[in-house]
Chains A and B, each alone.
Chain A
Amino acid sequence: MEKYAVFVPKLVTKRENFAPGHRACIGCGEALAVRLACKPLGQRVIIVTATGCIEIISSQLPYTSWRVPWIHTLFENTAAVASGIESGLKILMKKGRIAQQEIKVVAMAGDGATSDIGLQALSGAMERGHDFLYICFDNEAYMNTGVQRSSATPFGASTTTSPAGRVSIGQVTWKKDMPAIAAAHDIPYVATACPSYPFDLMDKVAKGAATPGPAYVHILSPCPTGWRFAPDLTVRLGRLAVETGIFPLYEVENGTYRLNFDFPKLRPVTDYMKLQGRFRHLSEDVINKIQQRVNREYAKLREKVK
């Protein structure tokens, strides 16, 4: 799609399957990412959503933001519900009970629902090889319940359950590498994306949806409420996460790595961190430690791309 960059905006559908009028906070990166993801998915999909911000902002009875078939059941079982829908549709088509046609099952869940409580169900579904796309909307904490840490919360971030205090820097563990866990299942398609790069995001969702078998797209979704930044900085923060190398955009297609945006020189991590209240308390030492880690991880990724 990069080749047609000038025309691309014209090619994107105007139809919003994730309708306006939902209840997300102003500047919500997750809502923006969901909206963008729904464009290439079109209408021949069934969406399964985990409990979390996406579900809460879009579904209060008797309203709905969904113009495509949508189901929510629980927090940790999204991949399992998707497995059931996919298997159900397949057998109903085989038995001639419903017409043979393409219907893509797409699971959407937060970082908590994905890398913590729902990891087992996701691992099972990927291992079994169901034909579905799983999208993780990673806002780096349990936002829906009030900004508690998850295993996707970055080192040094202050959350309500990893608060910075006199003797603590906040989160003391490094962000769990969820895309690598997905890739370790040897599924045909894994990608990272960010709504600050909308065409890249839509491209990857389209690719994931077109992939037969399990596909996993991990989308960094800046959250002004949880990260404590001004709501007009959402898109800028996404860009900075990528340009600092903190959240590189890459794809793993049948085991082959590809960096979608490479930077000869990464911006310093402080460019990204200083705009966010969750990192405000960090000393120079800790920031240096984070910088070194980012450099190291980015170099490792570059090795995989070669």
Chain B
Amino acid sequence: MAKRIGIEVSLAIAEAAKLADVDVVAAYPITPQTHIVEHLAELVANGELDAAYIPVESEHSAMSACLGASAAGARTFTATAGQGLELMHEVLYVASSMQLPVVMAVANRALSAPLSVWGDHSDVMAVRDTGWIQLFVENGQEAVDNVLCAFRIGEDPRVLLPVMIHLDGFHLTHMIEPLLFPEQSQVDKFIPPYQHPMPLHPDRPVTMGAFAPPIIYFETKKAQEVNLEAAKEVILQCWDNFGKTFQRYYSPVECYRSEDARVLLLTMGSFSETAMTAIDKMRGEGREVGLLRLRLWRPFPFDEIRQAVGNAEVLIVLDRALSFGGPGGPVCSEVRSALYSEDKRPKVIGFVGGLGGRDITPAGFEEIVDRGIEISQKGSDQEFEIFGVRE
């Protein structure tokens, strides 16, 4: 029987990696990810997790060591945040392009300057196009469950892609929550052993990472795109299987009281939980509002978004990152373009808020919805709205 334990979410992620029996952890500390890797180091030091912990000298080397370990056939895990994710940047592309299914938890953090250790999604958006499967989780249980799913999805021979699990720095990483942990035997059954089809080994020499002249480079990129898109099917199957085994269900776009809603709000990450409180209050007042929570960020769930939006007239998208000099938030531009070719589509209004750890309260979400509706009726001279900044 699964047991419910009160535990900090960061530690819970490390425990999930332990349940997945990871072979190699290569990591470099950065707030607010530190508790994850500290706990992993402790588990290894106490002999509770039989893994190699490589205390590398940088995040660039963390991800590079993960490449090597994964290419040698080891189940590999790491975690980072903000500046650390940026320092890994070029290595991230290599992990996906060389089909090395590293799993990484990202404790989402704002980017310097000015230095901020607090949460937003600027780091995520900067690695949007790196070819990783990327999921958002909103609470500790989702984090634990999806770390387990990440190994099963990424290592699936039909996929072989690295997976990022995004969770909000502090807002989620540092919460203590009562969580259910599956039994080891259940996890062992749920995640088959990692078997890279062609690992580095003298018994069967392979060349990995050869360079590509123009005559072949583009073909490799198309294959990569086809593969990442096809991974969605495996992700859905995995979540389905997880639900049947553990009675907790996940989908690419989670709908909350969105049926018949004329106005929809769309959020990602732990702010969704606050938004739900606001939606409940507004529904109580008889307003036809609902919430969409985008869980699967890559591959982007186009069909699910279109379906979830349904007949809504207004769609308000909250981004926690700013594309400077651009259309506002990256999530809003993607959602807008996913809906553009629909015959019947809602007005899409973009908000950017919650940068660098700034909170948005339930009342704040109500304000966003009211303002969004107002813009949908009267228009605005801004491409997008910035919410919650002192003038």
Q: Pick from B63-71, B139-147, B349-357 the stretch touching chain A.
A: B63-71
Q: Pick from A61-69, A150-158, A193-201 the stretch touching chain B.
A: A61-69
Whether the Cβ atoms of B56 and A88 lie closer than 8 Å is no
On chain A, the residues within 8 Å of B130 by CB distance are none
Whether the Cβ atoms of B209 and A72 lie closer than 8 Å is yes
Q: Tell me, in angstroms, the Cα distance from A88 to B68 when the chains sit together.
A: 8
Q: Pick from A77-85, A204-212, A234-242 the stretch touching chain B.
A: A77-85
Q: Mark B46-58, 1 if CB is under 8 A from A, else 0.
A: 0000111011111
Q: Pick from B8-16, B200-208, B302-310 the stretch touching chain A.
A: B200-208
Instruction: Say yes or no for A48: interface residue by CB 8 A criterion.
Output: yes
Q: What's the least CB distance linking B391 to chain A, in Å?
A: 44
Q: What's the least CB distance linking B155 to chain A, in Å?
A: 14
Q: What's the least CB distance linking B87 to chain A, in Å?
A: 11
Whether the Cβ atoms of B202 and A44 lie closer than 8 Å is yes
Our count of residue pairs bridging A and B at CB distance below 8 angstroms stands at 172
Identify A84's interface contact among B24, B193, B212, B220, CB under 8 A.
Answer: B24
Q: Mark A20-62, 1 if CB is under 8 A from B, else 0.
A: 0000000000000000000000011110100000011001111
Q: Tell me, in angstroms, the Cα distance from A128 to B90 when the chains sit together.
A: 24
Whether the Cβ atoms of A45 and B24 lie closer than 8 Å is no
Q: Tell me, in angstroms, the Cα distance from A201 to B121 when the chains sit together.
A: 52
Identify B54's interface contact among A55, A83, A120, CB under 8 A.
Answer: A83
Instruction: Say yes or no for B389: interface residue by CB 8 A criterion.
Output: no
Which of B65, B204, B212 lies at the interface centre, i.e. has the most chain A CB atoms within 10 A of its CB?
Answer: B65
Q: What's the least CB distance linking A196 to chain B, in Å?
A: 29
Identify B51's interface contact among A46, A84, A91, CB under 8 A.
Answer: A91
Q: What's the least CB distance linking B323 to chain A, in Å?
A: 27
Residues 202 to 229 of chain B near chain A (Cβ within 8 Å) = 202, 204-213, 216, 220
Whether the Cβ atoms of B24 and A88 lie closer than 8 Å is yes
Q: What's the least CB distance linking A15 to chain B, in Å?
A: 13
The residue on B at minimum CB distance from A77 is B64
Given contacts A69-B200, A74-B94, whether A87 and B64 have CB atoms under 8 Å apart is no
Which of A45, A67, A97 lies at the interface centre, i.e. has the most chain B CB atoms within 10 A of its CB?
Answer: A97
On chain A, the residues within 8 Å of B73 by CB distance are 88, 92, 97-98
On chain B, the residues within 8 Å of A10 by CB distance are none
Instruction: Say yes or no for B98: interface residue by CB 8 A criterion.
Output: yes
Instruction: Say yes or no for B232: interface residue by CB 8 A criterion.
Output: no
Q: Mark B75-107, 1 if CB is under 8 A from A, else 0.
A: 010000000000000110010001000000000
Q: Mark A164-191, 1 if CB is under 8 A from B, else 0.
A: 0000000000000000000000000000
| Number of residues from B at the complex interface, CB < 8 A | 46
Q: What's the least CB distance linking A289 to chain B, in Å?
A: 37
On chain B, the residues within 8 Å of A305 by CB distance are none
Whether the Cβ atoms of B58 and A62 lie closer than 8 Å is no
Whether the Cβ atoms of B24 and A71 lie closer than 8 Å is no
On chain A, the residues within 8 Å of B60 by CB distance are 76-77, 80, 121
Given contacts A69-B206, A121-B57, whether A61 and B211 have CB atoms under 8 Å apart is yes
Which of B57, B61, B62 lies at the interface centre, i.e. has the most chain A CB atoms within 10 A of its CB?
Answer: B61
Instruction: Say yes or no for B26: interface residue by CB 8 A criterion.
Output: yes
Whether the Cβ atoms of B64 and A46 lie closer than 8 Å is no
Q: Tell me, in angstroms, the Cα distance from A64 to B70 when the chains sit together.
A: 21
Interface of A with B (CB < 8 Å)? 43-46, 48, 55-56, 59-64, 66-74, 76-77, 79-92, 94-95, 97-98, 103, 120-121, 123-125, 127-128
Interface of B with A (CB < 8 Å)? 23-24, 26, 50-52, 54-58, 60-62, 64-74, 76, 90-91, 94, 98, 193, 200-202, 204-213, 216, 220
Q: What are 25 sample pairs from A and B whose C-beta atoms fall under 8 A apart?
A: A45-B202, A59-B207, A60-B213, A70-B205, A71-B200, A71-B208, A72-B210, A73-B94, A82-B68, A83-B26, A84-B54, A84-B67, A84-B76, A88-B52, A88-B68, A88-B71, A88-B73, A89-B72, A90-B52, A97-B73, A98-B73, A103-B201, A120-B57, A120-B58, A128-B54
| Supplied contacts A83-B54, A88-B24, 16 more A-B pairs, CB within 8 Å | A46-B202, A56-B211, A63-B210, A70-B208, A74-B64, A74-B90, A81-B65, A84-B24, A84-B26, A84-B70, A85-B68, A87-B74, A91-B24, A121-B61, A128-B54, A128-B55
